[in-house]
Homo-oligomer: A and B are copies of this chain.
């Protein structure tokens, strides 16, 4: 049955993902060969230090080199897999590969979020494929689903849990009631969080992925630095407890919504109604909940990181490019952007959503009235209030609002936080809304 010549692959990088690619190509060799009708051969692997001792997988020393320019230009290479990370060398390598007429597979979300237009423009000009399934949600085939599965549909909104480290930390905080700093330290010791966790817990990694999703769903290039983002480091265990009392679970979300004239895109922890499917996506798992015109709600769930899940996406991309190579159809499956209607990113101040507000106030009569008066004056209307007596400090007043404008809420809080009755900076967590309820009759 195997009639085609092998597909030649150059790997740039042999860390966790690169090692996973080598392992998966070995472990699933027979199935992959049968499905592609050809073998996939890793013919060269570019690494920083070929003499490094311990690696994720054993590879033939003769495959290793440090010269990526040479590796990219080899005649026997069809596909260059950029698995180095970063945006300097990686960008140079990807553009060089495209320039040399090679197809590219990359897992590099930062590169695509920051330089996607340049990379895809170069690929279009050269008539080569750039696939990037592994760049968003690791092994979850969300790129393929949006690009091909929902090719005839129109995405209206999406809610995603796309950073496994943040989800792991918040899930563990929720289960254990222990504070952020403690769980983070543990996660670092276990290897679930980086030594410098800023990109994960601060929302930067999620913003990169959201920029890629927004580009795919709404044909709009987003300046990733313009995406509003809050990290999960401001969440206290007490907020998770209150959330539960009100029927919510706190999750690290990315949210995007098509408003016609503008696209809303934001990254922050949010109170998610406990009856949403996303509320049950725990640990390091990822999921994207999509609301689209024809299909309605749909959800895609799985491992967002890890050696083999991420490698799985990379190798599935290699197989698809391989099929294109044999069919002389490179570039055919790349999405053509819709006619670019100029659309702006909706400024955060204009976003409307519900809010969880926790005020730390002095235990005096009339305090609640003062808070409510200021909120009301700024058009922030209240859905629920709970006041908790405490022996050891200010009283907490927890408020859930109806839909309000972010700008109004911020203006109200700026005023409230200067009141003499307020003892503690007000904590704000947005509440996820929209209509992705689980179990609705289709």
Chain A contacts to B: CB under 8 angstroms: 1, 20, 24, 27-28, 30-32, 34-37, 133, 139-141, 144-145, 148-154, 164, 168, 171, 192, 219, 277, 280-285, 292-306, 308-309, 311-313, 315-316, 318-320, 323-324, 326-329, 331-333, 335-339, 438-442
Contacts and interface: CB of A to CB of B under 8 A. Distances in A.
B324 A31 contact: no
Contacts of A28: 152-154, 293-294
Nearest to A332: B327
A390 to B, nearest CB: 32
Contact of A152 (B1, B282, B316, B336): B316
Given A31-B338, A32-B151, A327-B331, 9 more contacts: A31-B154, A34-B336, A35-B151, A141-B148, A144-B149, A152-B315, A153-B312, A295-B302, A323-B329
Given A148-B316, A151-B316, A168 B441 contact: yes
A114 B328 CA distance: 34
A337 B284 CA distance: 34
A34 B24 CA distance: 36
B336 A27 contact: no
Nearest to A34: B338
A296 B282 contact: no
A441 B309 CA distance: 13
Contacts of A171: 439
A229 to B, nearest CB: 23
A209 B164 CA distance: 33
A298 B293 contact: no
B34 A320 contact: no
A188 to B, nearest CB: 15
B335 A294 contact: no
17 contacts: A28-B153, A31-B154, A32-B152, A34-B219, A141-B150, A144-B144, A144-B148, A149-B316, A150-B316, A280-B439, A295-B302, A298-B303, A309-B442, A323-B332, A324-B329, A327-B331, A328-B328
A301 B302 contact: no
Contacts of A299: 299-302
B338 A309 contact: no
A24 B294 contact: yes
Nearest to A333: B323
Contact of A302 (B140, B296, B332): B296
Contact of A311 (B148, B294, B311): B294
B332 A326 contact: yes
A148 B440 CA distance: 29
Given A34-B337, A294-B308, A319 B151 contact: yes
A164 B306 contact: no
A282 B439 CA distance: 4
B145 A27 contact: no
A164 B442 contact: yes
A107 to B, nearest CB: 14
B329 A285 contact: no
Nearest to A144: B149
Contacts of A24: 152, 294
B320 A151 contact: yes
Contacts of A324: 327, 329, 332
B140 A298 contact: yes
A294 B139 contact: yes
- Max chain B Cβ within 10 angstroms of own Cβ: one of A144, A302, A324, A339: A302
Contact of A439 (B133, B281, B300, B316): B281
Contact of A318 (B152, B320, B335, B440): B152
A303 to B, nearest CB: 4
B303 A301 contact: no
A299 B336 CA distance: 28
Contact of A329 (B313, B327, B440, B442): B327
Nearest to A318: B152
A149 B220 CA distance: 24
A282 B311 CA distance: 33
A347 to B, nearest CB: 26
